[in-house]
Amino acid sequence: MLTVAVRLRSGFAPEDSEGQRTDIDVVYLVLNDEGKTVAGSRQKLTGAPNVDKARNLSGFLSESSLPLAPGLYQIRVAALDNRDGRIGSAFDWIEIPNSNPNTCP
């Protein structure tokens, strides 16, 4: 199981000066080492941002758990602010190790 966590900080606000709420769509895609999509998730975030006073961070926090077999994967995340059309994205590679002791050399 892989848990992807994303914190949206700069540029994404819960509401504008007129009090209109912002909906943010967050999409996760997981591609295998051949470039094929093997998992994905979509979330809609609305409301006040989370505040972590201990680390002086505020913003929206989004998490998604995705079941994955051992292997090499690319994780892609994109966010869209539906009010003003701002977007952001990120990607990274991760290797899920084989944790079964019976199959290790």
Task: Give the E-state strand segments of the chain in sequence order.
Answer: 2-8, 23-32, 37-46, 50-52, 57-66, 71-81, 87-96
Q: Which of 36, 26, 33 is nearest to 4 (CA)?
A: 26
Q: What is the pLDDT of residue 56?
A: 55
Looking at CATH, the fold of the domain delimited by 2-96 is given as Immunoglobulin-like (2.60.40)
How much of the chain, in percent, has pLDDT values that exceed 70?
70
The model carries a pTM of 0.70
Contact between residue 102 and residue 22 where contact means Cβ atoms under 8 Å apart: no
Share the mean pLDDT of the chain.
78
